[in-house]
Structure 1
Amino acid sequence: MADVFEIAINRRGPVGEDTVLVGVEDEGRQPRPSGDGRRWRPSDELTLRLLTWAARVVGLLAVVSVVLPVGRRRLRDTIGGWLDLPTEATVAAGVVALASGVMLLMLATALRRRKRRAWQVAVGVTGLIALAHLGWRHGIGSGVTALVLCVALIATRSHFTAKADPVHGKWRAVRVTVQLLLAGFLANLVLLSSTPARFTGGAPLGDRALHALLALIGVSGPVDPVPWLDDLTAAVGLSFGIGALLLGGYFLLRSAEPKPGLAPDAEWRLRELLSARGAEDSLGYFALRRDKSVVFSPSGKAAVPFRVLAGVALASGDPLGDIEAWPGAIEVFLAGCRENGWVPAVIGCSERGATVWVRYGLDAIELGDEAIVDTTTFTLDGRSMRGVRQAVAKLRRAGYGVEVRRSADLDETERAELSTLAERWRGTETERGFSMALSRLAGPDDPDCVLVTAAREGEVAGVLQFVPWGRDGLSLDLMRRDRAVGDNGLNELMIADLLAACPDLGVTRVSLNFAVFRAALERGGRIGAGPVARLWAKALRVGSRWWQIETLYRFNAKFAPTWNPRFLVFPAVRDLPRVAIAAIEAEGFGGRPPALLRALRR
């Protein structure tokens, strides 16, 4: 896969090293004719499922044996045999069993995603268990089971090719494990040393240190403290020991999450594709976001832009370029996902794009609709446009004027002023948008973008930015207004004047906001809608209090658009939670907290 993806390490000042993923083209390779090689679910999926489900069952039984009383009663002997626990399991042994079960579940997930390190850990652990049990003739059944599993893993080693984090994962795992173990050791040593001598029997420093060290694995040390202190040191030691095990395993097995970045050469190639085929997808220009990576087809005639978040390689919109070359780009993208253990997903692709992705073993659901206005037929006349017409007339009487200009027509002072205003009016700490946002305003590299500003008495009160959609279309990128201005209808005024100016701009179609779950809202509001449809629509209206789901739909509907469905593509239902977290984080609506992201990347 070195010819598909290239992990480059760029030094970025005093912060350290970050990984940047860039797409590279393999001119000599042609798409493989094998259907299994092209599909996301190849023919060896059954083997992987058997191995991973075996690990899940064992891990789940271990967890149940500790968490549920009935499990502790009925499964204690079985779990005790598997994990070498005594019949009368202590609290410490129960915690160890729980941690072992969770670790098995984590390992099973990594095995399902073909992680090479997960396979290495599984082979090593099962080999040691088999050696310990068979060598000392203790638990022959457990030893034989472990040996069979070890042999099965070795026999299927060719299936586990996905790389974990190739740069930081292994060393972060070691560092985090050592840090947590050291913290637990010092915490217990301080507890034993700071309490009066009568609570520890006057044990010397060496015994206290050994006791603090053994507490990390749930073993009693040479100190004989009072019961409450013994329980406290055991709880502290086990907490840090189990935390070190779980977090160390996470960093050891986690997928690479390279720092996103669009290389200048890749951006130039994308602009060439947009120049030739940019009219086919209204979201195509958003591939030029600087926080995306990209892979190209072997012929270079198609590309898939994406970003990696939370182990998900999230693409947006349709592949760029010639539709005949889409399969080559998709195959390269899916091959990279398999190699790195990423979950492939696509947000906001068209029906045509979803149809192509589904052919590769993925699934798709309708996510919402894109509002597209035909500027050649749009008019403010008629009863249906009465609300927009009145809002526009009211603001014009209030003294508002609108300017519609290409980005190339703005000078540097105007660019800086508009960028400052847009930043001030953003309303959130993070920039929102991924699939339908460019993340920059009036950039010098985007001369064909259209800026719409509304001002009164020389004071700008609102700004819209539209990106090119081929040569005769525009797609809404940014919509900001001064929240201190109490005049309603400012956005309607700017859009109406833009649509009126489209003939002079050579524009015949304009893509407005994306309305999430529009069809569900519409069906739920119809007469005779079923209880499920009404309940789903009601839930979406409740969610609109935070995410403007219904608000965007109602706003778009004012301009009598044509609704084009957009889809979410994902491998399987079990991957939807992870894909949803990645999509929400990419769009700026939540996801992993910034503090957690900093901790994971430090």
Structure 2
Amino acid sequence: MRQLKFITPFLRENAKMISSYLFTLFFIGVAIWFIKHEGAELKSVGPLLSTASISWLTLGILLSIGYVFVHGLMYRAAFAAVSSSISVVDGTVLYLKRNFVSVFLPAGGVSSLAFFSGEIEKKGVSKSQINFASSIYGFIGILSVVVIAIPVFVYGLIEGSIGNGEWFGLLAVVLLIALLFGLYKSVVHKGRFYQLLIRYAPSIEVYAAQFQESTVERRHFLATLRYSLLIEVIGIVHIYIAMLTLHLNPSWMIAMISYIVAVVFLIISPFLRGLGAVEASMSFILIKLGFPAAVAVSITLIYRLMEFWMPMLLGALSFLFKVNKLLMRILPALLMLCLGIVNIISVLTPAIRERLVFLENFLPLEAITASNYFVLVAGLFLLVTAAFMLKGLKMAWYFAVALCALSLIGHLTKAIDYEEASFSVLVLVILFSSRKQYYIKHNSRLRSFGIQTLLLSIVGVFVYGSIGFYFLDKHHFGIDFSWLQSIKYTFQNFFLVGSSDLVPKDSFARGFLYSINISGFLSLSFLVYTLIRPFILRQETDENDLLHATGLLEKYGDSSLDYFKTYSDKLFYQDDAIEGMIAYRVAGNFAVVLEGPVARVEDKSRLTKSFDRYCYENGLKCIYYRISAESLETYLFLGKKKLFLGQEGIVDLTTFSLEGGSRKSIRNAIKKVSDLGFKTKIYESPVPDGVLQKLKSVSDDWLRDTEREEIVFSQGIFIWEELKRQPIIT
């Protein structure tokens, strides 16, 4: 038993991690059961849609997107009710994520309100405010159902379409609202429930205190209720549209009764967001209202498609696109690679004759041929550009958009290939949706060089091609070229458009055309490379930058690390609008700054923001290494995260004294060291070579014994000439 004593402290220290694993395993098990249990419903959706009205179904799906958006508005109003502010986008994403996980949580509609608050917290909203706003959102979501349910149930009672089971469900919802309101009052007034809660969970008292101090703004509370009522109305409209989708005679009253019954059972269902319970209750009430069983089930399934499956799908996508920003770079690049391959295959395979004949009524054959060449060239350049897209280059994104647009037009004008054109549109949509992921600057100097090279190449090749065509013997092409024809054919072959009426008769003529084609392809390829090549940071510092940095250190330096900020391994960042500099070093995709900016105190924050923006535009992440405790709050305010590495003690040697009781332990330690024969000696500049030789030997032995290297970045390196000029204490 003694060997098992470690289990209790282990469980106590790792309770959060263990519970997370257990919940994860539980959710995985629930998800497997859920998929097997609902397999029949999933299979029935496809055949059902084949007989439904596509136009009404599309309208219902579009309304589902609006339904999600209204939930975002409701969240924003709920946060405004507790004097907090979030955007509609934040509210919508919060709803999508919570709605998705609620399917796999017990009592998911309520328990999911405790999840995904991290992004909101980062924007300055406290945990207690998030919990309070979420509670208002959940409470009003139930209250709005009752507000609509009571008159509908009264009407159903008069008509005889509402049975005892539905009334018991409504009663359960009313009791739930009363219970939630009672719990709220108990916490606010520190009643019995509050005392019981604090007794068994003392840590909640801090949140409860903030909860008690919070006030609810009436105007925003009522706005939240209005949005919630609008959500119920959209749900009723969904059922009405489901009837229209199946070509039935719709009824608003039937839609209201069936919706309220379904939502009541959704609220009281403790598991899987009412899956099964909603389908059974809605189908049953529709049958009681006069619909055949098959029709009732069909209406229910279409309603669930719009109200349950669509928000769930959007929720899954919200996780997918938030998993990693890199995904939003990989997907467009992968699609562009596929589009490039599609372009090439499309040009190499024969066109559909009927489409081509139809197109010839509107476009000349030369334009159709040129479109084929443009699509082929766009495909080749798409393959190259896709690789640069992975780096997040802004210019690569512009190139990608231009090439996709060219592909779109080319596919339509070469043979009305609307399938390939549709794929081009899809890639364009993905590119525009992920445009914020492409922000890294290109090399402006190299761009200018590329444009100049292209212009010189055009001039040179045009002179070469025009003169060549003009003076070529007629038997090479069967044409006696004029100057205008020479310029035209040179232009077409340089830009790889081709000429259908230009047929070489021998190998010399083919070689001449290939020389112009290859020159054009290489020139255009070099231009593309220079335009999309990323900006590469200099890895060395010139003498002028070093002198300027040294002057700034003498003027604004106030740190013991300032000496190492002008070491040869450092790069210097300067902003023309701010007097100051930042010493850093590039390691991989990181810019590691030694301490912080060297500038006036009031300019340090501005210079830090400027450097952060500079790193962002160049695809770097910045790290500020060994900052002082005094400046920590500044970095936290700028959104940085801290990692505690250690502490250092800094004393003023001119005023430091060993006198006094507080220094007794230090005096005893010094006496003990002195008794062992050790003594302190200060060597002023210039330090004797013999001393430096001994220090070098000690340094090398220590590095060899510890198998380490000198920490040049923040500790310096053993430089004989430099140390000779410094005072040394041994």
TM bucket, shorter chain: 0.3 to 0.5
Structure number with larger C-alpha Rg: 2
Q: Which has the higher strand share?
A: 1
Q: Normalized against structure 1, the TM-score is what?
A: 0.40
Q: Which has the higher helix share?
A: 2
Q: Normalized against structure 2, the TM-score is what?
A: 0.34
Between 1 and 2, higher relative CO (CA 8 Å, sep ≥ 6) is seen in: 1
